[in-house]
Amino acid sequence: MNSCKVCDNDLKNIVNFGPMPISNRFLPAPPEEEFLYELSVGFCSECYMVQLEKTVDPEMMFNENYAFFSSTSKKMENHFDEMAEDILEIIANQTSPFVIEIGCNDGIMLKNIAKRGIHHLGMEPSGNVAERARENGVEVFTGFFNGKSALDIMEKHGEADVISGANVMCHIENINSVLEGAAVLLKNDGVMFFEDPYLLDIVKKTSFDQIYDEHVFYFCGLSISELAQRNGLQLVDMAAQGVHGGSMRYFLKKGSKNRVSENVTRHISAEREFNLHTLDGYLSFQKKVNKISADLRKMLVALKEQGQRIAAYGATSKSTTLLNFSKIGPELIDYICDTTPTKIGKYTPGTHIPIKSHQHFQTDSPPYTLLLAWNHQKEIFAKELEYRKKGGKFITFFPGINIK
């Protein structure tokens, strides 16, 4: 039996994907053998946390060769400019504020704080992206945030007014230690906030590609409220974010007697309506996953049989789950185009599809393109007006297969 990483209760299995490679480990050449682990998700009926049953060593995922650079999307640049504005508002009345970001990546958000001369620190274990943040004027400590590093930060920099994190808290297995550390590191009136893909959106859309090695947890208000309480914090507000296919931002404060926004009650009621507090809410998930996966493969096979060529767009980490589980490889997809220089020329983990540049897509664009970066659809469609005008079609797959 697997046990809950928050409360040690037994987990109930929700979905299995079988053996998977490391999602962001793009390969210089198709290898003989690859590291694989079993990807499956379980639910804890005690604290409502949905989580991976087996996890991968963080250092295998977050190191000098981390493949994802946050600043590859214009929309995300704007999103993080706005987040920085939100932080400036929170600290507006503080005399010498201190802002921490966990998982600052290439500095996409924190550079906005740094350029205003505000005392700040980014915690980032992946050395290559941390270096890019430094080039962007951000002070970064290359390392993992946890209870211990929280104490080290406090000793060196003092207490924090804001601790923020985007798409990182759900990556950290020892989550109790992180929140415990944050509770110590925060000023009495400080705020911790973080955002991650929202479980209710994942369940509603069956967007199962959000499930991969890096995403240890799938948060919702129910589970974050419990998690906060267990670690001396309180969930005081929630705000839905229209990024990464549906995300939720959670605001936490110290203690248990803060004013709690009605947004928390509203979102948690919606989660209860979908039965996210019992195993019932997840009973049909595997069946829906299997159907989308089978339907997608069937459509790609049919197109190939008609003699069509198919490309894909965005060598995302999440597509590692979709491609491996649906058995979609180079026999169906000619290549994936991506703008990240360090991904170009490499092969996808497990399925070994070649990754090519955006210029390649512009000169050699097949009639069909699988939109792997579906969370950036708006931005990509705006960029690919010409492709669609000439009759090029994008294939999407959540909540079902669609040709656009």
Task: Name which position in 101, 214, 226, 271 contacts ligand DWN (CB under 6 A).
Answer: 214
| DSSP H helical ranges for 136-189 | 147-157, 175-185
Cα–Cα distance for residue pair 118/151, rounded to 1 Å: 21
| Binding flag, residue 249, ligand DWN (CB under 6 A) | no
Query: What binding mask, one character per residue, do residues 41-70 give for Zn ion by CB under 5 A, x or -?
Result: ---x-xx-x---------------------
Cα–Cα distance for residue pair 188/234, rounded to 1 Å: 12
| Binding flag, residue 71, ligand DWN (CB under 6 A) | no
In 3D space, the residue among 24, 49, 54 whose CA is nearest the CA of residue 38 turns out to be 54
In 3D space, the residue among 226, 210, 234 whose CA is nearest the CA of residue 271 turns out to be 226
Nearer to ligand DWN, 91 or 355 (CB): 355
List the interface residues with ligand SAH, window 71-130 (CB under 6 A).
Answer: 102-103, 105, 108, 123-126, 129
| Binding flag, residue 193, ligand SAH (CB under 6 A) | no
Cα–Cα distance for residue pair 375/396, rounded to 1 Å: 10
Tell me the closest approach of the beta carbon of residue 291 to ligand SAH, in angstroms. 30
| Binding flag, residue 4, Zn ion (CB under 5 A) | yes
Terminal Cα distance for the chain, rounded: 43
Nearer to ligand SAH, 148 or 287 (CB): 148
Contact partner, 227, from ligand SAH, Zn ion, ligand DWN, none, Cβ < 5-8 Å per class = none
Part in contact with ligand SAH (CB under 6 A); list of ranges 162-170, 197-205, 267-275, 378-386: 162-170
Cα–Cα distance for residue pair 371/310, rounded to 1 Å: 11
Query: What binding mask, one character per residue, do residues 167-186 give for ligand SAH by CB under 6 A, x or -?
Result: xx--xx--------------
* Extended strands (E) in 1-93: 12-20, 37-43, 50-52
In 3D space, the residue among 309, 243, 304 whose CA is nearest the CA of residue 108 turns out to be 243
Nearer to Zn ion, 49 or 310 (CB): 49
**Whether 124 contacts 63, CB under 8 Å:** no
Tell me the closest approach of the beta carbon of residue 316 to ligand DWN, in angstroms. 3
In 3D space, the residue among 173, 147, 174 whose CA is nearest the CA of residue 163 turns out to be 147
In 3D space, the residue among 326, 318, 314, 396 whose CA is nearest the CA of residue 355 turns out to be 314
Give how many residues touch ligand SAH by CB under 6 A. 21
* Token pair 């459509």 in the structure block, residue: 299
| Binding flag, residue 380, ligand DWN (CB under 6 A) | yes
Nearer to ligand DWN, 97 or 245 (CB): 245
Which one-letter DSSP state was computed for residue 54?
S
Task: Name the percent of the chain in helix, strand, coil, to the closest 5.
Answer: 35, 25, 40
Helices 262-273 + 221-230 axis angle, to 10:
120
| Binding flag, residue 73, ligand DWN (CB under 6 A) | yes
Nearer to ligand DWN, 164 or 167 (CB): 167
Cα–Cα distance for residue pair 340/176, rounded to 1 Å: 34
| Binding flag, residue 316, ligand DWN (CB under 6 A) | yes
| Binding flag, residue 70, ligand SAH (CB under 6 A) | yes
Contact partner, 376, from ligand SAH, ligand DWN, Zn ion, none, Cβ < 5-8 Å per class = ligand DWN
Q: Which residues bind ligand DWN (CB under 6 A)?
A: 68, 72-73, 167, 214, 314-318, 338-340, 343, 373, 375-376, 379-380, 383
Site residues (vs ligand SAH, CB under 6 A):
58, 62, 66, 68, 70, 102-103, 105, 108, 123-126, 129, 144-145, 166-168, 171-172
Binding site for Zn ion (CB under 5 A): 4, 6-7, 9, 44, 46-47, 49
